[in-house]
Structure formats: structure tokens, C-alpha cells
Structure 1
Amino acid sequence: MAPTRWRRSTHVWVGVLVLFLVVAVVVAAALVTSSGRSPAEPKVAVAPQPALVTAAPAVAPLSDSAPVPTPAGLAAVLAPFVANPDLGAFTGRVTDAMTGRELWARGAAVPMQPASTNKVLTAAAALLTLDRDARLTTTVVAPDQTKSPGLVVLKGGGDPTLSAAPKNVDTWYRGAARIADLADQVRSSGVKPKVVQVDVSAYSGPTLARGWDPLDIDGGDIAPMEAVMLDGGRTQPVSVDSARSTTPALDAGRALAVALGLNPAAVTVRPTPVTGDDIASVQSPPLIERLRQMMSESDNVMAESTGREVAAAIGKPQSFDGGVAAVLGQLKKAGVDTGGATLMDSSGLSVDDRLTAETLDEVVNAAAGNATLDDHDLRPLVDLLPIAGGSGTLSNRFLDTDAGRDAVGLLRAKTGSLTGTNALAGFVTDDSGRVLTFSMISNNAGPTGRTAIDAVAAALRSCGCSR
């Protein structure tokens, strides 16, 4: 027998019944979920949800009322660290940043070999003398073409950051000018170049300073100082360990010749100034960017260029002697005690350089204390100093001891390192929230001299010795 067929009305009633059951189940589930209990359970108060938290990051200023370490308390904390025999001959000074009051000193007026802490003076003199946005210009000059047809002259303006790297390749110095841009402008000038010369007359005097070791050229620490060079004279611009060239100006001229499709072997260097029409020019990064790279990487070539830039601004020769005289003169004019300073260069590479911890600390204190020197603000110097455990030449230091790690991010300083010499000049926020400036110089140091001087500086961070 065939099954009985349901009528349409039967389908409707079944559908209604199913729908009713579904609604009932959903309502019951909602009631249980909202109450969190079965109908037989007692009512329980439900705590309201906490308000949403809104992040508001900010830099918290240090308190002006943070206690100042007492000289006796500070001396007691530093005593075991400065007694380390691997410090050799050690001098130093610690000062309160806010008041400028000296809190501790040891031989602070004794001239010592400062190594690259000398760059603190060079950077400060540049900030006192030059505009933060100042740039150095490299030009190509076309002498009278009726007398010298096809001759173009690359004229150095003291910019060591100029690069021969192609336009789509990173350079050693951020924002560096390019030889390729000069070549493009020469081709657009209407002059048809045949031979390139290099004018290095902007700089005078020797190209190597007294107390420099020529082996440091191959070692990558320095290049002969000429008014035009590529990537600070590096022969392998993208390599940290690159050697430097012994002929940086000639290299730059040859790079321009190659970019113009000319014979690089025909390039010559001329020591006398050239006159003619400027047919191409490029500019360096601004001063503040160059100072940042100089201080972060302790770049000797950049420091020497900066010393000459200060010299040119006040009418002195762009030479080692002129740069030193300009740097010390501008600091002395601003009220810094430069007594005891005997410098051969602006970088600190010379083994014959001498500075006192007192002079170094005065400069850092003026910056950290936001003092005005000769109507100039040295505050930007604070931002140029490497950060302990974080940047530049301090990126891998203060990380191997508990006291050192406590100073990470809270201590900033310029380093100095030569054979047997270690130095630091900077500032630190101590355990009580007080900013202290310091300078420390160690000569004739032992094998652990660098970690020993770091330990002295780290002790300042943990001090909090106001009683």
C-alpha cells in the first residue's frame, strides 16, 4: 500500500510546532547564559567591567628636587673602583649638571692623552660657531674654455661625505652627495669635458697630523686630509673594516672622470685655486647630521673636516693648526677653561694630544645643564653622545655586569680609545634621579683598562649617595 500523503495543512502545523520549539530553546539558553546560573540557583551580583585603559606615553621630566650626592658619599662609592691598578694613570671629575657644582675630582687639571673624547670639544665648537643646517659644497669649475678647452676642475669644499656610489646604492654617510649628480650637471652645462683636474687648495698645511701613525691609513682609522674625498677616503665604502686611501682627492677626480666617460689616468691634482664658471655643485648633509655620525662612530676624518669648517668660519686657515686654534679659541671665548690643552688635531687620534678632565667636563656640563655659552645653546650636544648599551661606540659596552646593565640607557658618553688609553666624557642619571656629568681619562692602562673605566662610570649610576 502506498503511504498516505500529508495534506498541506499538516505541513504548516508541523512547521509551526518546530519553530516554537526552536524559539523556546534559544530563549532558555539566553536566560541561562545571561544569568550564569540555572533557574534554581540564587542570584549573584555581577561586578561591572573595568573601564578601558587608554595609553598615554610621555617623557617624564626629572625632578628639580632630586637629592645631590654629597662629596663624601660619592668619594666612598668611587674609591674601590678608582683603585683598580689597570686604570693606570687616572684622572676624572664629576659635577652636578643642574648647579655646575664639582662633587668629586682626581687630578682633574692634569693634562692627559684624551683620545677621541677630544671630539667633544670639536662638536661643541661647531655648535657654537656654525648653523645647524650648514652644508659643505663641492663644485665643478670650467676655466676659460678658449685657453683650456675641455678642462673641468673638481673643486673641493671640505666635504668628506661625497660618494661615487650609484644613485640607487646606499652610501657610507647618510644623505651624501654623489659624483653621479655632478656628472649629470656637467653634461647639461654645454661644456664638453676632455680632462679632469682636482683643486685641493681649500686646505693647507700637511695632510697628516703630528702624532699620527701612517699605518692607521691601512687600518682604516684615518686618511690624508684633503679638501675633497670619497666616503671619508674609504676604499671599500660599505665595509666597516675598509682601509683608507693614500690619495683621496685623486680618487675623487678619477671617479668624476669615469662618470664623464673620460680617461681616469689623465686626472691630476692642482694645489692652486682655479677660477672660472661653476657648472655643477652638490652639497653635504647638514652639520647636525654630520656631527651625529662623527660622534656616534667616532669618525676621525669627519672630526678633522669639522675642525677646518670651524676655522674657515672665523677666518683661520683650514689646516690642523687652524682647526685646533679655532676649536680651542671658540670654547675659550664661550667661557670654557682650556688651560692645559695641547692639541695636534681635532679628532684625538694624535698621541701628542693633551686635555684635562676639567675642560672636558665643563663642556659636557654646559650641554647637560642647558647652559648658554656665548649666546649659544649647547643642548644638542647631549643628543650626539652614544647611549650605553644602545648606540654608537657604546652599543656593546655596559652589558657584562649587573652595575653596567643598570646604567644601560641612562648613561651617555663619548668614548676615547688608543693603545693604553681609555676615556669617557658624558652624563648619567643616578639612582636618586639626579643628573651628573663626568669625564674620566686613563693613560698607561692595563689589559682590563676599558672595563675598569666603565665600572667607574657605572658606579655613578648606582650611587644615590646623598647622605
Structure 2
Amino acid sequence: MGFGRRIGDTLRLPTRRGRTVLIVLVVLALAAAAGGTAALHAPNLLADLGIRDQAVPEKQLDTPVPELAALSAAAPTPSSSGLGSVLGPLAGSTALGDFSGIVVDPAAPRGAPPLWQQSPEKTLVPGSTGKLLTASAALLTLDPTDRLATRVVAGAEPGQVVLIGGGDPTLTALPAGRTGTYPDPARLDDLVALVEKAVGSQPITSVVIDTSLWTGPELAEGWDPADVAGGFVAPMVPLMLDGGRRVVTEQDTPRVADPATEAGRAFAQKLGVTRVTEGTAPPNAKELGRVVSAPVSSLVEHLMTTSDNVLAESLARTVALSRQADPSFTGSADAVLGALTQSGFDVTGAHMVDGSGLSTEDRVPAPLLAALLQAAAAPTGPDDGPEFLRPIITGLPVAGGDGTLDDRFGTGNASVGRGVVRAKTGTLTGVSSLAGVVTDVDGRLLVFALMSNGKSPADVRPRLDTIAATLSRCGCR
């Protein structure tokens, strides 16, 4: 988040060469994480990606060349002693400060002993790995095809329309064909067109903005107000454009102080109206139009990749509303933990005051992060449904490839983890965490969660990367 009070999980777009490598890494990582099987004509694939100048003609490939295969269920599992001998010295460094770590086998039954752990009883500030709780609760509570809606209804006065915030921060004022930072966003232009069609020749004279969907303060306990100007979060209201960004094409850019008013003014301007006020929609008002976000599953994937704080908070509020809880910071945090508890996860020791992990008041044990990832990465069986949590895995950043890991795992012992480690990052001042999946040299998929408090991320993050990368090259039997 920038050096100061906070350091964040920023998104940097790869160079052209980096994007090419990224595509290859993502193809490989997705196949491994999902346990899928793919048959690729390798030379032609490379040519399509621009890596080779000329493709091998199809007629020379009589049969498909298998390049990617599903992970074998028979791949050997690391032993606790083997992992301990390798990870113990790395995790025991005083440079990690207050540390907790765990490695589990996603194919093992839930509740099985971990393969390796250190100080699992500690509850530490998670940073953005706290988003794993919100993302899991959203996928367990909501239908993955659900979408967040922004609506317009008729106002109490002739010529008045009410713009009702539905908790969709991806709504954009950009025209069709242009996108900001969010996938498949709802568009203000489409909403304007629907409203104008609905009212016909009746003139529109004023716009009312309704933000009554959510309750409570706009900033959470433990947030630094400077993070709004710093570009890492916006005041949380259920109506905003592009997450309240001033520069809508950049992930971490300064946010507006009053997102709902800005959205209302943009909507009014497109309607040719100058009068904008705050209020609430009349009961049973006629709907004039609505636009919707991308599906929840896509929003979760984006959330995992970019560590978007605003989107995380919005999904937490949506979970609260679905569970008929108070859609405030407190109510949403309680609803998230309630959803996880109802699904059988042990949340003992977890205390969240927000849905993004941006607060310094959040506390989470590493075993809970691992349990969520274990469920998301578990093989699909006849009696369970880990596929509901799959977007968490497919959305995880790829080491050295994309998202908040695009510029990590580049040097030293950590470099062997590039393209192999997929993980959610978490960084605040004095807080570093990394939780994700990795395939070891024997083809065994492993889940890990690493948390450090009390030391500078500049020193700790490379050490966490090295631990994760070490898992990728260690059979540890």
C-alpha cells in the first residue's frame, strides 16, 4: 500500500514479455490447481502466444501431444519430519518476528493433522489474507451466479428519479468498449438508457441518491483515513463508481471522499439534470431500470488476484444482508464468521472488524486460513462440494506472474517458486502473510499459510517467498 503507515498489495501490469510468460504460467498453474487435464499441441500453442515465430503444421502432429496432466492421487505425501527438517530452520529465524505457519494436504480429510506447523495457536494480524474469510463466506452463502444490482425507481415527485445503491462498487461511467479495473462492469450509460426509455416523454428534473442499504460508519476501526487519499480503500457506501477511484484504470489510485455523491452527479449529468439530493426511495416505487455486476464467482476471483479492499467490503456486506444481519462493519464481520462456522470451519481465535483485512484490529489463526484453502483445493468427491470454493484457487495470484505476486519470487532461493506458487498476499506496516497452494517435485498439491507480525515487510516477504518456494522443490519424505 505504499510505504508509510501501510504497505499494500499493489497490482503492477506486466510488460509485453511478462504478459506472454504470464499466460503460460497461468495455463500451467490453473491446470495444476484444478486437477484438470489438458492436451495441447505444444509448438502451435507457443506460436499462438508469440513465443515462436512459426507454428509446426498440424499435419505433422498425427496425435495430440499431452503437455499437462491431472495431479496424481498416488503422488507421495511429504512427511512431517521431512518438512520439519527443511522448513524448521527457515521458519525459526528471528527475522520473521512473531510467526505462525502451517502446511496441510488438501486431499486429506478435514480435521486431519497438518503435515507441518509452527505456533498454530497464535492469532495474528492477517493483512489481506483476511480476504480469504470474506471470499469463502461469500461463495458459501451466495449463489455464485448472483450479481449485485444498481437500480433506479420513480421518485416521490413528478420528474424525480431515485438512484439506489445496491452495493456494486464495479459500476462504471466508462462507455461500452472501455473497462477500468473490474471485470464485466455494470455501466451507467446502460442505466441511463433504460431510465430514458421507461419515462418516455416525461422530463426528468432531479435525481435522488439512496444509500440506505448499508448502515454504520464508512471507515472501519483500525483503518487509517489516509488510505482513502492513498488509493487503497474508499469510504464504504453502497453506491460508487469504479470503487471510488479518481483514475478508474488504475488499481491503487486516490479515492473520492464522497463516492455516492460523485456517482449521483455523474448519473444526473448523463440525464441532463443538475439537481442532486440525498434521500430514500418511496415504498413500492416503480422500477425504471437496473444494471448488474459480474457474477459473484468472477468478483471473488478478481478480489483474490488484485486484493481489492472495496470489493471485499462490499461482498462482506452482501453476506450480511443474505444472512439477515446488520450490513455494517460489525454486522458483516460477524456474518462472515457465522457463515464459516455454519459450514463447519473452526473460527476459534478469529476476530475481524472488517471484510478486507485492512484493519490493524483483525486477528486470524494460520490454521483457519489453511482450512479454507484446503477446502477450496480439495479433490471433488461424491459427498462434498469444494467446487463452490474453487474461484478462490483460480483467483490466487501466480508467483512472478500476475496480481499482487507479479513482482515477487524473482531472486535467490525464492525464484524457483515462480509460476509454481499461487498465493494470497497480506501486507500492512509490520504485517506480512502469504497463504496459498504449491505443487511439490513429486506432484503433490500442498496448502500453506504463513503469517508474520512485528517486522518490516521489506525483510519478511522475501523470507516467506523462500519458504513457499522451498515447498515446491522439496519432496520432504
User: TM-score interval w.r.t. the shorter chain?
Assistant: 0.7 to 0.9
Equivalents in 2 of 1:245, 1:385: separation in Å? Answer: 28
RMSD of aligned C-alpha atoms? Answer: 1.9
**Structure 1 residue 274: Cα displacement:** 5.7
In structure 1, the partner of 2:228 is 217
Which of residues 440, 454, 457 is equivalent to 1:430?
A: 440
- Please show how residues 414-429 of structure 1 align to structure 2 within 5 Å: 414-429=424-439
Conserved? CA contact 2:153–2:161, under 8 Å:
yes
Matched residues, number: 410
Equivalents in 2 of 1:272, 1:149: separation in Å? Answer: 13
Equivalents in 2 of 1:400, 1:219: separation in Å? Answer: 29
What's the CA shift string for 1:259-282, capped at 9, x where partnerless?
A: 01111xx31222676651111111
2:318 equivalent to 1:306: no
Equivalents in 2 of 1:323, 1:271: separation in Å? Answer: 22
Which of residues 133, 136, 140 is equivalent to 1:124?
A: 136
Which of residues 405, 411, 419 is equivalent to 2:415?
A: 405
**Structure 1 residue 371: Cα displacement:** 6.2
Which of residues 120, 124, 134 is equivalent to 1:108?
A: 120
Which of residues 153, 163, 167 is equivalent to 2:172?
A: 163
Equivalents in 2 of 1:412, 1:205: separation in Å? Answer: 35
Greater Cα offset, 284-293 or 379-388: 379-388
**Structure 1 residue 379: Cα displacement:** 3.1
Greater Cα offset, 305-314 or 380-389: 380-389
Conserved? CA contact 1:219–1:244, under 8 Å:
yes
In structure 2, the partner of 1:81 is 90
Which of residues 142, 153, 158 is equivalent to 1:141?
A: 153
- The alpha-carbon distance between structure 1 residues 319 and 379, as it changes in their structure 2 partners (threshold 3 A), is same
* 1:207 partner letter: E
Equivalents in 2 of 1:86, 1:465: separation in Å? Answer: 24
Conserved? CA contact 2:181–2:251, under 8 Å:
no
Query: SS of the counterpart of 2:134?
Result: helix
In structure 2, the partner of 1:18 is none
- The alpha-carbon distance between structure 1 residues 181 and 307, as it changes in their structure 2 partners (threshold 3 A), is same
* 2:145 partner letter: D
Conserved? CA contact 2:164–2:281, under 8 Å:
no
Query: SS of the counterpart of 1:379?
Result: helix
* 2:473 partner letter: S
Which of residues 238, 241, 249 is equivalent to 2:260?
A: 249
What's the CA shift string for 1:278-301, capped at 9, x where partnerless?
A: 111111111111111111100000
Which of residues 232, 249, 253 is equivalent to 2:243?
A: 232
* 2:141 partner letter: T
2:453 equivalent to 1:443: yes
Greater Cα offset, 439-448 or 294-303: 439-448
Percent identical:
44
2:348 equivalent to 1:339: yes
What's the CA shift string for 1:116-139, capped at 9, x where partnerless?
A: 001111111111111111101111
- The alpha-carbon distance between structure 1 residues 272 and 52, as it changes in their structure 2 partners (threshold 3 A), is closer
Query: SS of the counterpart of 1:267?
Result: strand
Query: SS of the counterpart of 2:150?
Result: strand
**Structure 1 residue 58: Cα displacement:** 4.9
Conserved? CA contact 2:376–2:386, under 8 Å:
no
Normalising by the residue count of structure 1, what TM-score does the alignment of the two structures yield?
Answer: 0.84
Conserved? CA contact 1:336–1:359, under 8 Å:
yes
2:164 equivalent to 1:152: no
What's the CA shift string for 1:177-205, capped at 9, x where partnerless?
A: 11111111222122421111100011111
In structure 1, the partner of 2:337 is 328
Greater Cα offset, 81-90 or 119-128: 81-90
